[in-house]
Amino acid sequence: MTAPDAGRGIGTGVFGDGDTFRILHVSTGNVCRSPITERLTRHALADRLGDRLVGGLIVESAGTWGHEGAPMETNAEAVLAEFGADASGFVGRELLDDHVIRADLVLTATRDHRAQVISMGHSAGLRTFTLKEFTRLVQAIDPATLPDPDEGVVARARALVRAAAALRGWLLAPSVEADEVYDPYGAPLPFFRSIGDEIHEALEPVVTALTGVPARM
């Protein structure tokens, strides 16, 4: 793994640099929602896969108006601590073309973020979803149609994105708000907690589908 990925990826596992799957979480400032989502994703993947430590999955984040070099919001760190997730070493980033080009799956906080990513080009439309949209689509996919996780989590992840993209026109959101994760920036800790719970709930089916391993009760 190259140096820029060292602080963002989760282990190299048995995969080489050419056999990775990169998940990019996008919000506005990259100091609240996307850092929470990034670190909760890492935490959940590591919890499901244990000693296999995620294999070739790389999880990172950026912001459409990213606070380049900024630390995560204190309340976001507090929320992650309550989930047992690691907030250390985080540095905010502004979303760049290269981030979108390299991403295999882009999950955004809102529909506006999704539109901004897609407008950057790079054939991003088929691999960019809001987080909640992707959750809804993933829940409609029969796990038996995906590669067995023992054959490699990267192949399974790529198949999952293709299947979700194929379903997108058939499973529309029940309302505009259904696909939004609202910005807690500047809000008190209880609101950050509610956003953390919302993100955690949306991630659970996604991580289960990616890994083929259900959450531990």
Q: Can you give the CATH number for the domain in which 25 is found?
A: 3.40.50.2300
Share of the chain above pLDDT 70, in %: 89
**pLDDT value of position 52:** 59
**Bridge partners of residue 215, in order along the sequence:** none
Angle at 35 between CA 32 and CA 40, to 5 degrees: 120
Fill in the DSSP letter of residue 170.
T
**Bridge partners of residue 59, in order along the sequence:** 23
Assess whether pLDDT exceeds 60 at residue 16.
Answer: no
- The reported pTM is 0.90
Phi, psi of 17 (to 5 degrees): -60, -30
Q: Report which listed range, 5-9, 52-56, 202-206, is most confident.
A: 202-206
Q: Is residue 77 part of a domain?
A: yes
Q: Is residue 111 part of a domain?
A: yes
Angle at 182 between CA 57 and CA 68, to 5 degrees: 60
Dihedral angle over CA of 116, 203, 136, 133, nearest 10: -10
Report the candidate in 25, 32, 42, 22 with the shortest Cα–Cα distance to residue 84.
Answer: 42
Residue where the block lists tokens 């690691």: 86
Q: Is residue 168 part of a domain?
A: yes
Residues 6+ apart with CB under 8 A from 167: 137, 140, 141
Helix extents (H) in the chain: 33-49, 74-83, 97-102, 111-119, 131-138, 153-167, 189-211
Q: Is residue 69 part of a domain?
A: yes
Supply the mean pLDDT for the chain: 88
Q: Is residue 2 part of a domain?
A: no
Q: Is residue 13 part of a domain?
A: no
3-class SS of residue 171: coil
Q: Is residue 93 part of a domain?
A: yes
Residues 6+ apart with CB under 8 A from 165: 126, 127
Cβ pair 181, 132 in contact under 8 A = yes
pLDDT, tens digit (0-9, with 9 covering 90-100), for 84-116: 999 999 999 999 999 999 999 999 999 999 999
Q: How many domains does the chain have?
A: 1
Mean pLDDT of 115-136: 96
Q: By residue range, what is the domain housing residue 44?
A: 21-209
Q: Is residue 10 part of a domain?
A: no
Assess whether pLDDT exceeds 90 at residue 171.
Answer: no
What span, in angstroms and rounded, lies between the C-alpha atoms of 168 and 173?
A: 10
**pLDDT value of position 149:** 83
**pLDDT value of position 182:** 96
Do the bridges between strand 105-108 and strand 21-27 make them parallel or antiparallel, or are there none, so unpaired? parallel
